[in-house]
A and B are shown apart, each in its own frame.
Chain A
Amino acid sequence: AQSVAQPEDQVNVAEGNPLTVKCTYSVSGNPYLFWYVQYPNRGLQFLLKYITGDNLVKGSYGFEAEFNKSQTSFHLKKPSALVSDSALYFCAVRAGNRDDKIIFGKGTRLHILP
């Protein structure tokens, strides 16, 4: 069965510092991995995805994520955090040999402190 774990309910980072939001996954076969962000009273917005190729993928708003197959991880990163990055972040996975639903993690709330 597919699953996603986001071990931190909340991450606090000072503005200007680098941030990391952790995600680990479990799937059969090769994974398709996604990060989404949810701002208050708004729907989920797609940030970036890993399908194949380069392990470091870049996405919207300066975010990037690193795929690590041996550690089954897909951590979200940003070199310098902004207060406006404060939101709820979801990691999601789909098994590469399937073409249906995406399984989401529970989410990590990111607080960027001014």
Chain B
Amino acid sequence: DTGVSQDPRHKITKRGQNVTFRCDPISEHNRLYWYRQTLGQGPEFLTYFQNEAQLEKSRLLSDRFSAERPKGSFSTLEIQRTEQGDSAMYLCASSLEGGGREQYFGPGTRLTVT
């Protein structure tokens, strides 16, 4: 068990560019979650997958955001036409299925849009 990994750890991009982040969950976990965290706030839910199916998307997730988990393993989060307001820490978490299951978080990808 190597834990949840995310790549890259840091990304600086210019406004209007597209960016893509990757998350590799704990291998036996069928649930994968994306959160966004800004300074002074707790993680805010964006979307989650059960295996390859995307089951819920937050209203925070505008049309510029898209997430995939094509084979039920790793996931990608793409932001198109980035805006300065997209600057945040993007966190990925994974868990086993079940309401009482805790989520295990990756180290996050810090996005800075200039």
Q: Which of A43, A98, A106 contacts B41 (CB under 8 A)?
A: A106
Residue on B nearest A99 in the bound complex, by CB: B99
Chain A residues touching B, range: 20 to 34
A105 touches B42 (CB 8 A): yes
- Complex interface residues of chain A between 1 and 59 (CB less than 8 A to chain B): 4, 32, 34, 36, 41-46, 49, 51
Task: Say whether, besides A90-B43, A101-B33, A107-B42, A51 and B100 are in contact (CB < 8 Å).
Answer: yes
**In the complex, how many angstroms separate the beta carbon of A53 from the nearest chain B beta carbon?**
11
**In the complex, how many angstroms separate the beta carbon of B27 from the nearest chain A beta carbon?**
17
B65 at the interface (CB under 8 A from A): no
For the complex, count residues of B whose C-beta is within 8 A of A: 26
A residues in contact with B106, CB < 8 Å: 43
B45 touches A102 (CB 8 A): yes
A103 at the interface (CB under 8 A from B): yes
A67 at the interface (CB under 8 A from B): no
The 19 sampled A-B contact pairs (Cβ below 8 Å) are A41-B107, A43-B105, A43-B107, A43-B108, A44-B91, A45-B105, A46-B102, A90-B43, A92-B42, A94-B99, A99-B98, A100-B55, A101-B33, A101-B45, A101-B56, A101-B58, A102-B45, A106-B40, A106-B41
**B contact set with A: CB distance below 8 Å:** 4, 33, 35, 40-45, 48, 55-56, 58, 91, 93, 97-100, 102-108
